A and B are shown apart, each in its own frame.
Chain A
Amino acid sequence: MSLKRWFSGIYILGLTVAVTVTLALSAWLFHGAERDQWLQYERRLAQVEANALADALSAAGPDEIGRILKAWQSSRPERQSAVVIAGMEMIGSAKSEDQAPRRLIRAEKPLYDLANQLRAARETNLSEGVVRKKLIVFDEQAKDAFVVTVPYLDKGEFAGVLQIRMRHVETDVSGTVSYAGAALWISIFLAAIVLAALLHARPEMPRDAPKIVALAAFLGLTLFYQSQRLETFAAADLESTRRVASAVADAAKQHDVKAVSPAIVSRWDTDQYQRPLGVIRTDGAVVGDARDKLFAERAKLLERSLWAVEALGLVLLLAYLLGYMRRLADTVRHHAAAYAYVAPAMVGMLVLVFFPFLYGITLAFTDTTLFNESLPFSERWVGLVNFFAILGDFNLFTRNADGVIWNYQNFYWTLMVTIVWTLTNVTVGVTLGFILALILNTDNLKGKAIYRVILILPWAIPNYITALVWRGMFHPQFGVINQILQLFGMQPVGWFDGVVSSFFTGLATNGWLSFPFMMVVILGALQSIPKDMYEAAEVEGATRWQRLRHITLPLLRPTLVPAIVLSVVWTFNMFNIIFLVSGGEPAGANEILITKAYKIAFENYQYAYAAAYSTVIFVILLVYGVFQTRVTKATESY
């Protein structure tokens, strides 16, 4: 029992769990980063080989292709094969049994498609004046070997592709890091336990001191671990760059290049877009600043993830030290059956609600568009750029001779429209609903049931049908509203031409759709108000207005406030009405945030920007929700 109690002490448990989780996650991150680093290094070597070989082929001319490929392959055992294809033809191969030149066979379709892909990529990069398509492609499926394809140029023009295959060579750049890592891991872990035991055993310290010591110990130990591993990681990167430099020199020897010129280095040591990396000099030395910058760029994501892990560990530790964990454990133990019953629903929520939600928020921190969605996540990560672009754009209006011209594409304009839209709609809905409910609540009203059914009808019809009907009614020439106006001798109105009139079309439609809900809610509340209150008031001589003001309204409040809260959220995101009735006309002036996000995502294909937009909408509603809950609580008492 005492051992169990000892183990469940907050210092022991807190430090052990926090340190374990932080170390495990950090180690996992480092493992991934180191594997990636190794892969990048090996790929860079393969790229140097391929770029150098393609260069040699271009220099020598088409007749020499077979000879050069064979010479290249036979000089090293890890070089497995090399082919050059142009159009439907294989024009050169390192293997004699390929009998180049010959027509491609069916099994070589992927190679043919790849050649077309690289041709299109090159053309795209050249014609658009941007670099967005990779020119060096690795076969991700290939096991035990690197299969890399680069463009083959003839007289500076795209003529085909060169594909080489090289066996993996087991060279661990990071050396003995895995053993050292494990040793470090264990010693830090032991240190944490010993420290925790000491803290546990000496409770005569001042009240909060052990907690502070525990926090400091946690930070010290984990940060030490991370910095140790980061150092090794950086050293490995430097070492791999040195080896790439010697690979460039080797390749120069292979292809009988007398001296390594800057042009050669920048053509051979490139990224996958064939842009020079600029980290090695012609003499094989490493350019310090450039490499540091490149490394910092690559390690950025890793460092940020490490901070996140550190923060997670800290939160865990605090949760133990401050007793939240104990309370959580008690609750779980206490209500185990209840949690078991809720579990299926929780799993459902997790998969159907929280996963898409978190995915959306994550997407907001990338620059994903239609054109780059197939790139790995780490290459698309941009941080807060989208949020700055949305919230930091204050180009709300420009002034010229005619006065102020509003920029309807601006976020703040759309936000303002959304807020005005929400306020007016809720006002209209509540007012109409309230009046109708009061009328329906009249005693001895004949045909009450019929009225009620008729008034609920707008709510019962699917709202997109209603929206389309209203859109038709607002047609300038053939719509019924303008025809009625003309009947009374008025000029027809171009409803969707003006900002205000177009806004009104949405308001009218949504007002029509929203009053039945309010009416039903209010009617229910009205009927639950005891009649004797009114009778008493009447006896006291209260007027109708006084009865409404001092009995009806206060008693409605507990029902009305939640209904309004709900209604605000619904209207804020009322996609159908805006999208179908006015479509945001004119010129997007009447767009609300949610329809705007839709257009950004599915007309402009800027998925990440739209995700950031949605996240902003979420935050706005969250703030509103928190605020509103407080207000509601204040009124609950009544």
Chain B
Amino acid sequence: MNITIRKLCATAAAFAGLGWVQAQAAELTIWHAYRGGEKTAFEKVVKMFEAKQVGKGVTVNTLAIPYDAYADKISAAVPRGKGPDVFIYAQDRLGGWVESGKTVEPVDFFLDKQTKDQLLPGMMEAMTYKGSVYGLPINYKSITLIYNKALVKAPPKNSAELVKIAKENTKADSGRYGLAYWYTNFYFHAALMNAFGGHVFDKDGKLAINSKESVAAINQMMKWYKTDGIMPPEPSEALVASLFNEGKAAMVLNGPWFIGEISPKVDFGLAVLPVIDEAGKKPMRPWLTIEGAYVSAASKQKELAYEFAKFLVSEEAGLVLALEGRQLHTNKGIYNDKRVSGDRVLKAFHDQLATAEAMPNRAEMTMVWSPATTAMNKITKGNATPEAAIKEAADNIQSSIDALRKSR
């Protein structure tokens, strides 16, 4: 008995000692949701960062967390002082994390001009909430025009050309359509809404979805769907993919995640989204989702954590993430590299960036999706006029927002 206790004590002491030695060296924990090639590239960048910190004994541990559990895990762990030093997530949750507090550390104190200047324009906007910067943007995604080269000779520059090409390729009774995208999904529809100058929130954060611009954008979509008849009914992610892969959709609007799903039999091209003549020749402006690296408010080593985030947006990390991880990195410099500018996919999405805008990072945005989808479904099925459906959606969203923004 005595010996066992002594053994236990010895082991405990050894572990404690080990812990103490480890505590001497700085250790960073990073959470992300990458898989496959993105994960490999990310881990390579982590190794590069460690190599740069030689002598300081910095070790960086990465932990890949399944995407569907990721955001809730951060919301639960970090405010209670647990969790990583740095975590990577898109901007859509940022507003909620800032509002609920004790989750994301503001970094504008650390942020210098140099770091900002090396980034593509418009990226910091997604990381900024109510005037403070909370993270460094790593990569962006937006939709763009992807077309079947066998069916479309030259991609359309404006909506008139788009409709013309699409009509040539539409034969509804055999299930062929000139244009396919998930137009009932508000995320995809936003490109049209933004073209007409509509917004979900105005700059003060007031709900602005019920506007004549929104209605005009819906009417444009309904024109394509009903009047021109160039789009399939009941679109979904899977439907758009199968139509395009079977050569039954000449053009689709989709994002970088779609590239891997395209069948090798389809020779595809990419082009910037067209200008909408009806919107006063304004281009379609898709939403950008931007992934940022955030320093955790619970981190014990915020400066080192920030250094790591800063390294992620550097040119050398950007090249690895772009070329090996296939990410659309935010560092300007990498697009001068032959290997990046020579890659038609990376180049096409980079070109689209000029007319893209960051999706709102307000917490209230999650209240928009469901009512907006309901409205889009009602409109496309002819159950409501655009005006009535948008007004109803706006009322529902507003009451959810009011429930949240209550006076104390």
Contacts and interface: CB of A to CB of B under 8 A. Distances in A.
Genuine A/B complex: yes
Interface of A: 88, 104, 106, 109, 112-113, 116-117, 119-120, 123-124, 127-128, 130-132, 273, 367, 369-375, 379, 409, 472, 475-478, 494, 497, 585-588, 599, 602-606, 609
A586 B377 contact: yes
B65 interface: no
Interface in B94-120: 96, 99-102, 105-106, 108-110
Contact of A374 (B101, B109, B238, B404): B101
A475 B100 CA distance: 39
B377 A585 contact: yes
B408 A372 contact: yes
Contacts of B378: 586-587
Contact of B233 (A127, A476, A606): A476
Interface string B195-215: 000000000111000000000
A104 B206 CA distance: 34
Interface string B367-408: 101100010011001010000000000001000100111111
Nearest to B203: A127
Contacts of B377: 497, 585-587
A131 B408 contact: yes
A623 B244 CA distance: 53
B11 interface: no
Given A119-B131, A370-B99, A113 B404 contact: no
Candidate in B102, B303, B374 with the most chain A CB atoms within 10 angstroms: B374
B239 A588 contact: no
B204 A127 contact: yes
A590 to B, nearest CB: 12
15 contacts: A113-B109, A116-B132, A124-B205, A127-B204, A127-B206, A130-B406, A131-B407, A132-B407, A132-B408, A369-B403, A371-B100, A372-B406, A476-B233, A477-B233, A602-B366
A563 to B, nearest CB: 33
Nearest to B400: A604
A132 B406 contact: yes
A606 B131 contact: no
A437 B314 CA distance: 67
A379 B408 contact: yes
A528 B408 CA distance: 64
B99 A371 contact: yes
Contact of A475 (B102, B105, B236, B404): B236
B132 A605 contact: no
A531 to B, nearest CB: 52
Contacts of B233: 476-477
Interface of B: 79, 96, 99-102, 105-106, 108-110, 129-132, 175, 204-206, 232-234, 236, 238-239, 242, 303, 363, 366-367, 369-370, 374, 377-378, 381, 383, 396, 400, 403-408
Contact of A477 (B234, B366, B370, B400): B234
B130 A371 contact: no
A120 B131 contact: yes
Contacts of B232: 477
Contact of B109 (A109, A475, A497, A604): A109
B34 to A, nearest CB: 24
Contacts of B366: 602-605
A638 B102 CA distance: 61
Contact of A478 (B96, B110, B239, B381): B239
Given A130-B406, A371-B99, A477-B234, 9 more contacts: A123-B131, A371-B100, A373-B100, A475-B234, A477-B232, A477-B233, A587-B377, A599-B370, A605-B367
A112 B96 contact: no
Contacts, number: 112
Candidate in A367, A370, A475, A603 with the most chain B CB atoms within 10 angstroms: A370
Contacts of A585: 377
Contact of A370 (B96, B108, B206): B96
A370 B204 CA distance: 19
A510 B108 CA distance: 52
A132 B106 contact: no
Contacts of B404: 369-371, 604-606
B130 A120 contact: yes
Contact of A603 (B100, B132, B367, B383): B367
A130 B407 contact: yes
Given A372-B408, A603-B370, A123 B130 contact: yes
Nearest to B239: A478
Nearest to B132: A116
A117 B405 CA distance: 17
A128 B96 contact: no
A133 to B, nearest CB: 9
A379 B407 CA distance: 12
A163 B232 CA distance: 62
B341 to A, nearest CB: 37
Contacts of A112: 109
Contacts of B374: 586-588
Contacts of B105: 113
Contacts of A123: 130-131
A497 B407 contact: no
A129 B407 CA distance: 9
6 closest cross-chain pairs (CB), A and B: A120-B130, A374-B101, A127-B204, A130-B407, A116-B132, A604-B400
Contact of B100 (A367, A374, A379): A374
A104 B108 CA distance: 13
Contacts of A117: 132
Given A120-B132, A603-B370, A478 B242 contact: yes
B108 A116 contact: yes
Contacts of A116: 106, 108, 131-132
A193 to B, nearest CB: 45
Contacts of B106: 113, 116
Nearest to A379: B408
Given A120-B131, A604-B367, A128 B405 contact: yes
Given A371-B404, A587-B374, A128 B100 contact: no
A116 B407 CA distance: 21
B396 to A, nearest CB: 8
A104 B378 CA distance: 55
A69 to B, nearest CB: 23
A281 to B, nearest CB: 26
A480 to B, nearest CB: 14
A373 B102 CA distance: 11
B132 A130 contact: no
Contacts of B405: 128, 130, 132, 371
Given A370-B99, A477-B234, A603-B370, A127 B407 contact: no
Contacts of A88: 109
Contact of B363 (A370, A475, A497): A370
Nearest to B130: A120
B102 A374 contact: yes
B134 to A, nearest CB: 10
Contacts of A494: 234, 381
A131 to B, nearest CB: 5
A386 to B, nearest CB: 11
A127 B366 CA distance: 20
A265 to B, nearest CB: 22
B106 to A, nearest CB: 5
A104 B109 CA distance: 9
A372 B129 CA distance: 17
Nearest to A584: B370
A476 B383 CA distance: 17
A617 B407 CA distance: 29
Nearest to A112: B109
Nearest to B97: A370
A375 B204 CA distance: 24
A369 B363 CA distance: 11
Nearest to B377: A586
B255 to A, nearest CB: 22
A605 B403 CA distance: 9
Contacts of A603: 366-367, 369-370
Contacts of B239: 475, 477-478
